[in-house]
């Protein structure tokens, strides 16, 4: 493991000159540059970035906190982040929080201890106040999840409009009894419920709170949601699920009950997860511009680090209704 000292000695120059070559400084003659570079190649020298990072007090590393890497939704979001980061000589690190506040705090220590230059949250486990406290002192961006009162840059879609659009799609198909399977823990769920209620009201349909059931963010949550809804005296003829995974569980359970989708019950999901077109039937859903969300989040983060731009801006990205077979008109 050669050090910069050894390179300098072997090249017959000072460490400063080696450093200049390493950092592509203009102020070095091409002759010495070649000489130094030759030694670097010969020794297969790799600069120790711990030294550099300490000296510069920056790491050019951005940490992305995911609740669970298995959530394929974030795959393309992260890709967008990476592409922007790499364009600016930054790197992306990913860590799992498992929705565990303790674990989240462990990773936040990376930020506080200067091991990373910024953190992009997807779904903070900590409460709003703690989050704001953190955002005040460190570069922090919230990606794709929004709670009112957040004082940090936020990238999100208009969840209320998206919820409205989803419900409206079902209404236009002629449905009058429309259920909803939501998740309390998801910050955007309230906005989506709001949009759903708005669409119903606007169409002259009454909002039945019993039609809105809260479940876990999972396949099984979808199954249980259907069980709840179909225990009602008048079950819905259409169901808006807050995620495609939940929609899958819902459809599975409907089939188990001998009901067919979309003929007996229409189902719409959310996110345009990769499973949505694959499932049988393929699932109507709201697509989020995942890659662009990731790009934007990283752009905002890099601005945040440089201290430019509005530090509390909410960036709203466009969503899109994608109609597939789980909501085809029944006639």
**Which range of residues in 110-118, 122-130, 144-152, 171-179 is near a copy of itself by CB under 8 A?**
110-118
**Which range of residues in 28-36, 129-137, 161-169, 285-293 is near DNA by CB under 7 A?**
28-36
Q: d(Cα 221, Cα 327) in Å, to the nearest integer?
A: 20
- 147 is a site residue for a copy of itself (CB under 8 A): no
Q: CA dist 101 to 123, 159, 279, Å?
A: 11, 25, 34
Q: Binding DNA by CB under 7 A: which of 10, 17, 74, 242? A: 17
Q: d(Cα 242, Cα 267) in Å, to the nearest integer?
A: 11
Q: Binding DNA by CB under 7 A: which of 9, 37, 43, 47? A: 47
Q: Binding a copy of itself by CB under 8 A: which of 14, 42, 68, 263? A: 68
**Which range of residues in 160-168, 201-209, 274-282, 312-320 is near a copy of itself by CB under 8 A?**
274-282
Q: What ranges make up the beta strands (E) of the chain?
A: 61-66, 91-96, 118-121, 140-143, 154-157, 178-182, 212-214, 238-241, 266-268, 285-287, 314-317, 320-322
* Least spacing, CB of residue 11 vs a copy of itself, in Å: 20
Bridge pairing between strands 285-287 and 320-322: antiparallel
Smaller CB separation from DNA, 8 or 166: 8
Q: d(Cα 299, Cα 153) in Å, to the nearest integer?
A: 11
Binding to a copy of itself, residues 69-98 (CB under 8 A): 69-70, 72, 74-76, 78-79, 82, 86, 91-96, 98
CB contact at 8 A, 143 and 187: no
**Which range of residues in 15-23, 109-117, 182-190, 305-313 is near a copy of itself by CB under 8 A?**
109-117
Q: Which residues contact 128 (CB under 8 A, 6 or more apart)?
A: 147, 149, 150
Q: Binding DNA by CB under 7 A: which of 34, 38, 42, 54? A: 54
Smaller CB separation from a copy of itself, 253 or 299: 253
Bridge pairing between strands 285-287 and 91-96: unpaired
Q: Binding a copy of itself by CB under 8 A: which of 19, 59, 144, 188? A: 59
Which residue is associated with the tokens 């992306």?
Answer: 92
Which residue is associated with the tokens 């079902």?
Answer: 170
Looking at residue 210, the DSSP 8-state letter turns out to be: G
Looking at residue 205, the DSSP 8-state letter turns out to be: P
Binding site for a copy of itself (CB under 8 A): 46-51, 53-54, 57, 59, 66, 68-70, 72, 74-76, 78-79, 82, 86, 91-96, 98, 106-107, 109-110, 112-115, 219, 248-249, 251-252, 255, 274-275, 278-280
């Amino acid at each position: 493991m050669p050090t910069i000292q050894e390179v300098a000695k072997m090249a017959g120059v000072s460490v400063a000159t080696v450093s200049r070559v390493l950092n592509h400084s203009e102020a070095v003659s091409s002759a010495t540059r070649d000489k130094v570079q030759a030694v670097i190649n010969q020794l297969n020298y790799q600069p120790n970035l711990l030294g550099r990072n300490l000296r510069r007090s920056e790491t050019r590393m951005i940490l992305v906190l995911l609740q669970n890497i298995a959530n394929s939704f974030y795959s393309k979001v992260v890709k967008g982040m990476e592409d922007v980061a790499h364009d600016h000589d930054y790197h992306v690190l990913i860590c799992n929080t498992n929705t565990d506040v303790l674990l989240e705090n462990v990773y936040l220590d990376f930020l506080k201890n200067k091991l990373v230059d910024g953190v992009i949250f997807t779904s903070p486990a900590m409460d709003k106040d703690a989050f704001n406290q953190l955002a005040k002192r460190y570069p922090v961006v919230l990606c794709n999840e929004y709670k009112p009162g957040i004082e940090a840059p936020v990238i999100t879609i208009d969840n209320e409009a998206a919820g409205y659009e989803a419900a409206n799609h079902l209404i236009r198909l002629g449905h009058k009894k429309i259920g909803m399977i939501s998740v309390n823990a998801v910050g955007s769920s309230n906005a989506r419920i709001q949009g759903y209620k708005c669409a119903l009201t606007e169409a002259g349909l009454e909002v039945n709170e019993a039609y809105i059931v809260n479940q876990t963010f999972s396949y099984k949550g979808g199954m249980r949601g259907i069980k709840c809804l179909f225990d009602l005296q008048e079950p819905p003829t259409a169901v808006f699920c807050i995620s495609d995974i939940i929609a899958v569980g819902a459809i599975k359970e409907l089939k188990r009950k001998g009901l067919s989708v979309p003929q007996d019950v229409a189902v719409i999901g959310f996110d345009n997860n990769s499973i949505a077109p694959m499932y049988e039937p393929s699932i109507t859903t709201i697509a989020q511009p995942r890659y662009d969300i990731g790009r934007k989040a990283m752009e905002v983060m890099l601005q945040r680090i440089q201290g430019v731009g509005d530090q509390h801006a909410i960036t709203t990205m466009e969503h899109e209704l994608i109609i597939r077979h789980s909501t085809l008109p029944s006639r």
